[in-house]
Amino acid sequence: MPRFAYSRAMGTMASMNPDDLLLLVNREMPFGKYKGRLLADLPGNYLHWFAREGFPPGELGRLLALMREIDHNGLSSLLMPLRRQPVAELRPSGSTRPASSGKR
């Protein structure tokens, strides 16, 4: 059964991709006042501003909307264990198994 997350800010049902959580702690804001800051480290008021004014299109907007929901619901601490996981450990697209570390 697929998992779904509803975002009022986005106004649609969207599939929840667990890899998006890793992207939040590894992807930097590409523009604006907080350019270069990790998406997971953006201040709540900035995320709420996007919710009011509109998220950018595409993946960045989807990630900002997700981070806004996480922040708004006080769940930012759930991202802490993921901060220790480098981007290289992201699972291949469509995979449900953890990435192989290459060690045996």
Please give the residue that has the higher pLDDT: either 46 or 91.
46
Dihedral, CA of residue 31, residue 74, residue 3 and residue 93, to nearest 10: 40
What pLDDT, on the 0 to 100 scale, is given for residue 1? 36
Mean pLDDT of the chain: 79
Asked, for residue 24, whether it belongs to a domain, the answer is yes
Asked, for residue 103, whether it belongs to a domain, the answer is no
Number of structural domains, the chain? 1
pLDDT at 4 over 80: no
What pLDDT, on the 0 to 100 scale, is given for residue 90? 54
Asked, for residue 20, whether it belongs to a domain, the answer is yes
Asked, for residue 65, whether it belongs to a domain, the answer is yes
Angle at 58 between CA 57 and CA 62, to 5 degrees: 95
Find the domain containing 77 and state its range: 4-85
| Locus of tokens 């590409």 | 30
pLDDT at 69 over 70: yes
Asked, for residue 96, whether it belongs to a domain, the answer is no
pLDDT tens digit sequence for 73-103: 999 999 999 987 665 555 555 544 445 444 4
pLDDT tens digit sequence for 10-40: 444 457 788 999 999 999 999 999 999 999 9
Asked, for residue 28, whether it belongs to a domain, the answer is yes
What pLDDT, on the 0 to 100 scale, is given for residue 40? 96
Q: Which amino acid is at 11?
A: G
What pLDDT, on the 0 to 100 scale, is given for residue 39? 97
Asked, for residue 21, whether it belongs to a domain, the answer is yes
